[in-house]
Amino acid sequence: MKPYRLITFAAVLAAPLPLFAGSGWKQDRSVDGLSVEWREVQDSPFHEYRITTQSKLPLEKLCHAVWGKDAKVAGDFKKRVVIKETDNERWTYEQVGVPLVKDRDCLMHVTLVKPADTGSCEVKFETTTHPDYPPDPNFVRVPAVRGYWTLNPVREGYVSVTYVVYSEPGGAVPALFARGGQRDAAVGFMKTILARADARSDEASPQRETQ
């Protein structure tokens, strides 16, 4: 398991996205129907990643999976506390186990910018702070995670899914060694969201035949 899978924190953009050294995306690879791209971020050794695909799952199910309301703690997550939640905003404290290096924690702010009933869906996320959750000496506080999801119907029966994320994992591991894990974590999280949406579709169709 790769060290820096902690970029799977999904959560909002209360402050600006990072400045980029160039506006163009560079193709990295294609994995299981997912397009993986990256671009440099000004004054940062870390990259921003963009994962895109098209899905036949309903927009509503995909948006619900991205927004993550009532999502269970799973995978590398050790703890997740919902500090405050409204219909379109959520603040959480999260702890993540990271192999080979010290575990990480962070505070996230997620915003549902456009719900599915608008005809598309957008969710933004970013790390934040909270007086009740100061840095814990048992964890490395993640200095920055930010990005967004956009979901748009593109043709009959298909939804374009885009996940953009930038993160600074903290600690002393060089960016050169962290980038591969960050990229793989972004791909893995896209797969998690698609699987979550698919599971919701199954739940909504109890009469669906099994092959």
CB neighbours (10 Å) of residue 211? 2
Query: Does residue 39 sit within a domain?
Result: no
Helix axes 175-204, 59-67, angle to 10 degrees: 130
The answer to whether residue 209 sits within a structural domain is no
With respect to residue 21, please indicate whether it lies within any of the assigned structural domains: no
**Residue 20 located in a structural domain:** no
Yes or no: say if 146 and 17 are a contact pair by the CB < 8 Å rule. Answer: yes
Range of the domain at 160: 5-14+56-203
Judge whether 35 lies within some domain: no
Instruction: Output DSSP code: residue 87.
Output: S
Q: What is the pLDDT of residue 171?
A: 86
Residues 6+ away with beta carbon under 8 Å from 155: none
Domain count, the chain: 1
Residue 25 lies in a domain: no
The domain that contains 89 carries what CATH number? 3.30.530.20
pLDDT by 10s per residue, the chain, length 211: 443 344 443 333 333 344 444 478 999 999 999 999 999 999 999 999 999 999 999 999 999 999 988 776 666 778 999 999 999 999 999 998 877 788 999 999 999 999 999 999 999 999 999 999 999 999 999 999 999 999 999 988 999 999 999 999 888 878 888 888 889 989 999 999 999 999 876 665 544 433 3
- Does 42 fall in a domain? no
Q: Cα–Cα distance between 139 and 184 in angstroms, integer?
A: 22
Q: What is the pTM of this model?
A: 0.83
- Is position 51 within any domain? no
Q: What angle do CA 50, 51, 56 make, to 5 degrees?
A: 145
